[in-house]
Amino acid sequence: MEILTTLRQIREKIPPKGSRPRPVSLVPTMGALHAGHQSLVERAVREDGQVIATVFVNPLQFGPKEDFNRYPSTREEDIALLEKAGAEWVYFPDPSELLPGPIHFRITHPVAELYCGAFRPGHFSGVLTIVSKFFHLINPDRAYFGMKDRQQLFLISRLARELSFPVEIRPVETVREPDGLAMSSRNRYLSPEDRKHAPELYRMLLQARDRYAPRSHADRLDLPSRIEAQMKERGFRPEYVSFVHPETFLPLSSDDPPGAATILLTAAWLGQTRLIDNIDIPGTHV
């Protein structure tokens, strides 16, 4: 695996489209890698990709009071994990080269303002800006994103489609700890006590999925507020719990057909750690 740090190296090492022996597959990350990131790289390799992983803590996607300055960094372990997973290149961009000055353009989308976007103003604009830059600079054939960050995955798929980036976005299932907690670089912020409670978040989503089908339409639409109440009883501080339309990513409403397939999406604080998770709920004909 080669370690790249400059745009010149990117230009020299990544073959241009048309002369690639295999599809170039991009896996963007912020480092502090775990088995979730590893599964993205392994999937890309299994699907015959020549993988370029990027490791960049993107300042554009952090709010002024967020954890940019203390975001975990485990560079040596990241290199070992990526090498083992079969990446061909890892790109650690030099921030002053990738972001030589302020960026005044903003990529916006109505869905970027909802859910996580409502609590993290500018977050998705920052994500979409840096991902666009990677798409331009690397010109990958494919890019892999995790379903854990479901809203991000939706927005990046739309970015590629609506702005005609010639890249195929491939989603990867959430990798979980044995107790169900979605793996995240931020899980290391959890105190030992909170770490024990954290899997309850996913358990509540599983429970909601099981309760969805047998209920009446009105009762179903009421589930998110009941889950929020349940979360609070269990010591979480929920930001939102929402049923989301899988195609449009807009909130499910009483106008949608009863029993429509949906995604249950949530973000909640536990102690000093912000957790996000989601679950697919299949449609029902009850």
Rounded Cα distance, 218 and 259, in Å: 10
Report which of 222, 224, 223 is spatially closest to residue 266, judged by C-alpha positions: 224
Choose among 148, 205, 139: nearest CA to 172. Answer: 148
CB of 153 vs ligand AMP, minimal distance in Å: 7
In angstroms, give the least distance from the CB of 165 to ligand AMP.
16
Question: Cα 85–265–36 angle (5° rounding)?
Answer: 10
Backbone angles phi, psi at 71, to 5 degrees: -60, 135
For binding to ligand AMP (CB under 6 A), which residues are involved? 29-30, 36-37, 39-40, 145-146, 148-149, 172, 174-175, 182-185
Kindly list the catalytic residues.
Answer: 37
* Minimum CB distance to ligand AMP, residue 58 (Å): 8
Residue among 147, 193, 195, 138 nearest 174 (CA):
147
Pick 146 or 259: Cβ nearer ligand AMP: 146
Residues 244 and 251: beta-carbon distance below 8 Å:
yes
Degrees to nearest 5, angle at CA 223 with 274 and 271:
20
Q: Indicate the residue whose CB is closest to ligand AMP.
A: 146
* Cβ nearer to ligand AMP, comparing 36 with 259: 36
CB of 146 to ligand AMP, least distance (A): 2
In angstroms, rounded to a whole number, what is the distance separating the alpha carbons of residues 161 and 251? Answer: 21
Identify which of residues 253 and 272 has a Cβ nearer to ligand AMP in the complex.
272
Angle of helix 150-162 relative to helix 123-138, nearest 10 degrees, comes to 50
Minimum distance from CB of 27 to ligand AMP (Å)? 7
If the CB atoms of residues 56 and 212 are measured against ligand AMP, the closer one turns out to be: 56
With respect to ligand AMP, which residue has the nearer C-beta, 184 or 262?
184
